[in-house]
Each structure stands twice: as C-alpha cells, then as structure tokens.
Structure 1
Amino acid sequence: MENDQEILYWTRGRFSFGEITVCCSDQGVREIRFASARQKNGRRKTGKTERVLRAAGSSQKPGARLARKTLHELKEYEQGGLKRFTVPIDTCGTPFEKMVWEELLRIPYGKTASYGEVARKVGNPRGARAVGMANNKNPIPIIVPCHRVIASDGKLSGYAGGLRMKTQLLRLEQGAL
C-alpha cells in the first residue's frame, strides 16, 4: 500500500511576543509553532501520511502564498490593526476538539471566556478540563484564540507559548501594550 503525501509550506517571523513558524497546506493554515519548535525542510510520517515540509520562500504554490499571507496577518494583528484573521484554516483534530476550536473563534477580540463557559457553549457543561485538553491540542494558536480562555477565577493557566506570551497577547488585545 502506498502512503499519501502531504506538502506543507512554512515560513517564520519575529514578533514582540516571540518567534513564530507558520505551516500551511494548500487548503489553509495547519500549524503555528512557537520558537521552541524549530521548523526545517524535510519529511515526517504521521500515520499513513508522509508530510513533506518546504520553505515557502517565493513559491507561488497556494500553500506557500497562504503561509506568507498568514505571517502578514500576524504582523497586522501584532500592530493592533487586525481584529479577525481572514486566512482559511485547515485543522486536524477530533470532532470535539474542532467544536471547541470553532467556539474559540467566537470569543471577541479583547475579551476572555472561562474554560467552563466554553464547555457549556459546546454542550458539555462539566467539560472544563476537556476544553483545556482541546486548547492544549490547538495547532494554530493566536488565530484560533485559545489565549482568550482563562480559569473560572480569572487567573491565567496553560498556554503553548507560555503564560508570559498569553499575558502579552491579552494585553495587546485589551489595548494595554
């Protein structure tokens, strides 16, 4: 049996909140990684699919153009000029994870919601921990704004980029930077 092959294009940028690598398929943004997870060209197996990673550079392939556009939108976001991302997303996850990520997209710029509030909105009122796990698996933080989810007591908890970055993103959105 022959394996499927998926080509993702990546590009990297520096931001006030850290270095970010964006990976895109031809359909949309697949991953955003923080500096701790360096990206290189190469191949990786995920199940039966072989992922081929290529630098976006000046390629005119749809995924490469999307990677560059995503980086541009992240820069606009950082400067306070973009409140809602327009790039398409192409996430892989369980049905529950995708439902949570869709709900995160409904949290307005500059606002927060608790894990419990998100759980109630996705029909799982006792699922605050499950929402936390879905946030943990969110492959495109910032665009799918898991940084806007906080503990029920108003405290910040867990974030892939660290609590310092989560604080910076929330302050940016609330006009405190």
Structure 2
Amino acid sequence: MAGRTVVGMDSNGQFVEWAVVGSDIGPLMLAATGEGLVSVVFHADDAVRDRALARLCGQLGAEPVESAAGRLAEPIRVLEAYFTGALREFRLSLDWSLTAGFNREVLRELASGVPYGTVVGYGELARRVGQPGAAQAVGAAMGANPLPLVVPCHRVVESDGGIGGFGGGLETKRRLLALEGVLPQPLF
C-alpha cells in the first residue's frame, strides 16, 4: 500500500496529512489530523483525489504541500493488515470533526457496535441510537460517512436481505463483505 503523501495546515494551525495508497479495492485517499484519521475516500484516482482534496481543504481550511510526515503510518499498516485478513478490529484514533449530530451518533454506534463479519439493518441501527423511525436518515448518514471502511458502513444492509447502497459502489461493498466472510467470494 505505497502512495504519495501530502501535508497541509488546518484552520487551527495543525498539520493535516494526506496519502493515496493502493488497496485490494483500488486506491484509497487517507487524511489525518493531530486528532486522528479524518477521511477515507474510495477509488482515489487523480480526479477523485483532486475533488476530495479540494473538499477536505475547504472543510478543514488546509492547503496541501508535499511532505513525508508520518501520521498515516499506523492507519496504512492497519488497513494492510485488514486486507490480508490479519486484523478484524480497527483501533485507530479518529477525528470526528467532519460529522456531527445524528450522523455522528449513528457512525459511532456503527464503529463500536457492528463487529467484523456481521451486518446490521438500517432500521436496527436507527433503533440502537433511539430513533426507530429513522432508517432513511441512517442511510443518509452512511452516505455522508467521512471514514468509510474504518467506520464500516459496508456492514449496513437492507432488512429484506438486500445489500443496500454504498458510496464506494456495490461491487466494493460486495468485496468487503466477502473479505469479512459475510458473502461468498466472487467466482471471477
């Protein structure tokens, strides 16, 4: 999972580090602040990466500059272990500053309450945060998740057995669920 790393300073004068790394599901863009991992972006080819960096720079008030800073060393190591099947629980410092309110509550419940190799329905996740009628809002929270993969929105499925949506694409969701043993590995 080698990649290019860039660093900028956020609006509080803290450094923000970005890296694009290869993975079993394509290039991932990772970003970290002094608080921890703040963003994961799927399919981070040049165009996706540039849009994500522009959005992230606007949200955090940072302009990227090239650097070899090491805030992302641990997240990169953890993701490598996940993709080899050697790791089943993400234990990383996370910066939750890109989410708030209901979305943050749902995402924190997802991160702590839906372990590797399991799935949860949108409605069940809504019930867990005390909003039993908010299944659609849970879906919106999944779509706005700034930390997909690490905050495992791929583990949220429809109550009727459907796979549901996924910001990284349904094929990526299928591959992640297969990696975790929830779905069979694709034949091709």
Aligned residue among 75, 82, 87 for 1:77? 82
C-alpha displacement of 1:50: 1.7
Map of 1:45 onto structure 2: 58
Q: 1:86-125, aligned counterparts within 5 Å?
A: 86-91=91-96, 92-105=98-111, 106-125=113-132
Question: Partner amino acid for 1:8?
Answer: V
CA deviations over 1:62-119 (Å, ceiling 9, x no partner): xxx2312111111100011111111100022122111101111110110000000000
- 112-121 vs 99-108, which moves further: 99-108
Give the number of aligned pairs. 167
- 1:138 is matched with 145
Q: Is the 8 A contact 1:66 1:87 kept in 2?
A: no
The aligned amino acid for 1:90 is D
Change (3 A) 1:110 1:56: farther
Q: Could you tell me how far apart the structure 1 residues matched to 2:129 and 2:53 are? A: 37
1:4 Cα offset (Å): 4.6
Deviation at 1:157, TM superposition (A): 1.7
With normalisation by structure 2, the TM-score equals 0.81
| Residue pair 2:14, 2:34 contacting (<8 A) in 1 also | no
Residue 5 of structure 1: how far off its partner (Å): 4.7
Q: How much does 1:44 deviate?
A: 3.1
Structure 1 residues 98 and 29: CA distance shift in structure 2, 3 A? same
- Post-superposition CA distance 1:16-35 (Å, at most 9, x none): 21110100001100000112
Q: In structure 1, how many angstroms separate the alpha carbons of the residues matched to 2:149 and 2:24? A: 13
Calculate the TM-score normalised by the size of structure 1: 0.85
Distance in 2 of aligned mates of 1:20 and 1:141: 10
Detail structure 1 runs of 4+ shifted over 4 Å in the superposition.
Answer: 3-6, 39-43
After superposition, the CA RMSD in angstroms is: 2.1
